[in-house]
């Protein structure tokens, strides 16, 4: 595991922000950190980035201890806060060159990396523009570029999509997926759950300073009660420590010209969660390859499929159900 948190606590003036939290995040993946405001997400990220000391417990980031090895952690981690402050009079190139130098890059390497990350976040045309003329979304992209300037092995991102337009969000997803594919560890805290659902490999839910489990780590059975377009979350419980990311199981809806034939095919394989008659069937599909295989099987069985697509909002429904149970 690239990030390990064990029994970590942190309080502020007697108020407990993180309480004996434990979790593990694997390398080569994107993990979402989900929870309400005040759940302790930002406090956790600050401790992982060696910017805040825990009161107790242990943390390892890329095998390093943020308490005793803060400088090494700073070199290994790319940190993007939810509000990225800039020097308004400096250009994008000057800002990134300054951070590159702070991370120990030489002048030639800094120039090369600055050009590379500006290109990666699609800000090349703003390279010589002062930061004061950037929009909120452009400043977010500059913040992401800053986090990437020293080629970190771990990325900690706090609300990275805030203020970005749909094109920029799509570009960010593609960039982060590429980095994870190269072995980087990406931990993203966001309230834009639809965005996370399209991006992450797994999710850690946080409430009241602790990790909590959800039914996201199991597929729905045909006996589960449907809720809109996704399964209702089961009653949460405290997880075994440490908490590993729950896989994000994507629900797909299949519709066919003959709904009865479709339902018979799905029932024979105990694949489907129930839906209303004439509304097709919902299937738990872990990835695109599994979706393609299911579609082939349905067609080979004589099911005249007319649509097969992901159902949006499952992660949001799980989150809302979790919150309802914890009130």
* pLDDT tens-place string over residues 108-148: 999 999 999 999 999 999 999 999 999 989 999 999 999 99
Looking at residue 156, its pLDDT comes to 97
Of 321, 323, 294, give the one whose Cα is nearest residue 309: 294
Where exactly does CATH 3.40.50.300 map onto the chain? Answer: 3-212
Q: Tokens 């706090």, residue?
A: 158
Phi, psi of 182 (to 5 degrees): -90, 0
Looking at residue 164, its pLDDT comes to 87
Looking at residue 247, its pLDDT comes to 66
Instruction: For residue 213, count other CB atoms closer than 10 A to its CB.
Output: 19
Looking at residue 274, its pLDDT comes to 60
Percent share of the chain, pLDDT over 70 = 84
Q: What's the CA gap between 327 and 325, in Å, rounded? A: 6
Q: What is the mean pLDDT of the chain?
A: 84
pLDDT, average across residues 85-113: 92
Using CA of residue 112, residue 93, residue 181, residue 31, what is the dihedral sign?
Answer: positive
Where exactly does CATH 3.30.70 map onto the chain? Answer: 249-326
Work out the burial of residue 48: count CB atoms within 10 Å of its CB; fewer than 13 is exposed, 13-18 middle, 19 or more buried.
buried
* More confident call, 177 vs 323: 177
Enter the CATH code of domain 3-212.
Answer: 3.40.50.300
CA angle (139 as vertex; 315, 159 as ends), nearest 5: 20
Looking at residue 230, its pLDDT comes to 33
Q: Tokens 């994107």, residue?
A: 30
Is the pLDDT reported for residue 20 higher than 80? yes
> Where is average pLDDT lowest: 64-68, 103-107, 227-231, 245-249?
227-231
Helices (H), strands (E): how many in the chain? 10, 16
> Where is average pLDDT lowest: 233-242, 244-253, 261-270, 300-309?
233-242
> Where is average pLDDT lowest: 28-42, 90-104, 135-149, 260-274?
260-274
> Where is average pLDDT lowest: 48-52, 60-64, 108-112, 318-322?
318-322
Looking at residue 191, its pLDDT comes to 83
Q: What's the CA gap between 72 and 74, in Å, rounded? A: 5
Tell if the pTM clears 0.85, that is, is over it: no
Looking at residue 232, its pLDDT comes to 30
Q: Do strands 305-310 and 226-227 pair parallel, antiparallel, or not at all (unpaired)?
A: unpaired
Is the pLDDT reported for residue 226 higher than 80? no
Name residue 188's beta-bridge partners: 32, 157
ω into 96 cis (within 30 of 0): no
Structure tokens at 299: 């067609």
* More confident call, 101 vs 319: 101
Structure tokens at 171: 């570009």
Structure tokens at 292: 């393609």
Class of domain 249-326: alpha beta
Is the pLDDT reported for residue 228 higher than 60? no
pLDDT, average across residues 194-208: 85
The tally of CA atoms less than 13 A away on the side-chain side of residue 319 is: 24
């Amino acid at each position: 595991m690239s990030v390990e948190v064990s029994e970590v606590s942190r309080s502020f003036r007697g108020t407990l922000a993180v309480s004996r939290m434990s979790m593990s995040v694997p390398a080569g993946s994107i993990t979402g950190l989900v929870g309400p405001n005040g759940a302790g997400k930002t406090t956790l990220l600050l401790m992982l980035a060696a910017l805040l000391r825990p009161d107790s417990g242990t943390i390892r980031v890329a095998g390093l201890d943020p308490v005793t090895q803060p400088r090494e952690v700073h070199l290994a981690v790319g940190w993007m806060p939810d509000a990225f402050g800039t020097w308004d009079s400096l250009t994008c190139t000057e800002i990134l060159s300054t951070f590159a130098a702070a991370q120990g890059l030489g002048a030639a390497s800094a120039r090369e990396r600055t050009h590379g990350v500006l290109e990666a976040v699609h800000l090349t045309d703003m390279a010589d523009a002062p930061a004061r003329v950037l929009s909120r979304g452009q400043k977010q992209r500059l913040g992401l570029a800053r986090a990437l300037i020293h080629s970190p092995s771990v990325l900690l991102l706090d609300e990275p999509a805030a203020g970005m337009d749909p094109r920029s969000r799509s570009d960010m997803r593609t960039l982060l997926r590429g980095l994870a594919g190269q072995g980087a560890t990406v931990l993203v805290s966001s309230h834009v759950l639809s965005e996370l659902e399209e991006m992450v490999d797994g999710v850690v839910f946080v409430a009241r300073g602790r990790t909590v489990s959800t039914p996201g780590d199991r597929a729905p059975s045909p006996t589960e009660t449907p809720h809109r377009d996704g399964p209702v979350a089961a009653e949460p419980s405290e997880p075994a420590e440490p908490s590993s990311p729950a896989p994000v199981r994507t629900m797909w809806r299949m519709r066919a010209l003959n709904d009865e034939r479709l339902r018979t095919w799905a029932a024979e394989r105990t694949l489907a969660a129930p839906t209303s008659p004439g509304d097709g069937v919902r299937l738990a599909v872990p990835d695109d390859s599994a979706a393609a295989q299911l579609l082939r099987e349905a067609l080979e069985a004589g099911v005249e499929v007319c649509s097969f697509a992901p159902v949006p909002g499952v992660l949001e429904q799980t989150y809302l159900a979790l919150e309802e149970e914890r009130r």
